[in-house]
Amino acid sequence: MAPHGGALIPIADGAANIEVVLDREQGELTLFLFDGCAENSLRSDLASMTLVCDNEIFELAARASGLTGETVGDTSEFGLVDERLKGRESLSGKLARVSLLGSTLTDVGIECPVPE
């Protein structure tokens, strides 16, 4: 189960997950990085992530959190608010780069909601 009620996407051969949370009313997209069981956050050293979706580019900024001590360049949360996301029923695209667990993954596919 996804901790924030989003779509859970397994990556890195199941060693990690990306939770995709799309707020269609606000046009907000948030990505959370988790371990393979989606219980513990995994931090990334990236300052942003680039999502290519329907020939559009979205830059998701790293989000700091005083609660967890996460900072830009050492965080498990990325997000943006963009008018182009308002009213979307689904989202399908590729993250250009995801850095976690000591390795870098490229062209990581994500979908929200996940098809059944």
Q: Please check whether residue 69 lies inside any domain of the structure.
A: yes
Q: Is 22 inside any structural domain? A: yes
pLDDT of residue 115: 46
**Residue 21 has what pLDDT?**
94
Q: Confirm whether 70 is domain-assigned.
A: yes
CA torsion angle 80 81 87 91 (round to 10): -10
- Is 115 a domain residue? no
Given pLDDT bands bounded at 50, 70 and 90, which one contains residue 116?
Answer: very low
CA 37 – CA 95 distance, rounded (Å): 21
Q: Please tell me the pTM assigned to this model.
A: 0.93
Which position has the token pair 């900072």? 71
The SS3 call for residue 19 is strand
Q: How many domains does the chain have?
A: 1
pLDDT digits (tens, 9 = 90+) for 56-99: 999 999 999 988 899 999 999 999 999 999 999 889 999 999 99
Q: Assess if residue 2 is contained within a domain.
A: no
For residue range 45-61, what is the model confidence (pLDDT) as tens digits? 999 999 999 899 999 99
